[in-house]
Amino acid sequence: MSLLAIKNAVQIFAFRNSQVQRCIHTTAICHKVQSGRYRVTPKKDFPLTYEMANPPHRIAHRKSWNSWNTSNLQGGPRPSETAIEDLFIRKFVTGTWHSLFVSEIIIKRQHNIIRIAGIIRQTLYPRKMYFLIGYTEELLSFWLQCPVKLELQTVTDKRDVIFKYI
């Protein structure tokens, strides 16, 4: 029993030590560029939108950015705040319009106005949609202390935005 405990302790110590010491990774797996890319499925039935179909290195060539602001330019003010706010907006809108957005949420900033654009499905009744638009705009403009506008486009079917199947 005591031997086992010692063995465990040694293992834990070795694990912690390895975490401290292994700063340089030389394994090939780390070189693999995976983010924003999708694997081809055996049945070739995985739907991709235009945004998903183009990997990140196609940005500014075949597709454009989802966040438009001047904070990420050289010497732009408050880049970290803008990034955090964009993340918060995305999370809030995704949760409020649950399973309704069929595209990425596009956030465009002009001076102090924040424009949130996107494509939603037509499963909502117009009354509910108007309520959600007002709710989102009101709450986000209260939290972010600047005018927020929601500019949405609707599609009949969620397959309308599918670009290809892989």
Partner 1 sequence: MATVTRLYRQQIFRPSYILSRHLAEDTEFRVLNLKTTRSQPVQRKKLKKPDVLPPRSYQMPVDQDWGSVWPGPRSFHPATVPLPIRQGYVDKGAPPGKYGNAELMKIPNFLHLTPPVIKRQCEALKRFCTPWPRGLETDSKCEDHFPVEVASSNYCYSSPSIRDPMARIVTVKVKLSRIPLDEHAKDKFLRLVGDRYNESTDMLTIVTDRCPLRKQNYDYAMYLLTALFHESWRVEAWEKLKSEADMEYYDWKVSASKKSIETLFGKEHTDITHADTYSQTVDALMNEGESEYSVTKYGEAVRQMLQLPQ
Compute the least distance from the CB of residue 91 to partner 1, in Å.
Answer: 19
- Of 9 and 81, CB closest to partner 1: 81
Residue closer to partner 1 (CB basis): 13 or 36:
36
**Residue of 37, 107, 103, 104 lying closest to 72 (CA atoms):** 107
Cβ 31 to partner 1 shortest distance, Å: 27
Q: Which long-range contacts (CB under 8 A, 24 or more apart) does 50-55 make?
A: 50/161, 50/163, 51/103, 51/104, 52/163, 53/163, 53/164
The nearest distance, CB 65 to partner 1, in angstroms, is 7
Which parts of this chain interact with partner 1 (CB under 8 A)? Answer: 49-51, 54, 61-66, 68-71, 76-78, 82, 102-104, 106, 108-112, 115, 117-119, 122-126, 144-146, 151, 153-156, 160-161, 163
Question: For the residues of 64-121, what is the DSSP string, one character each?
Answer: --SEE-STTSTT-S-HHHHHHHHHHHHHHHHHHTTTTB-SPPEEEEETTEEEEEEEEE
Of 42 and 126, which CB lies nearer to partner 1 in the complex structure?
126
Q: How far is the CB of 117 from partner 1 (least distance, A)?
A: 4
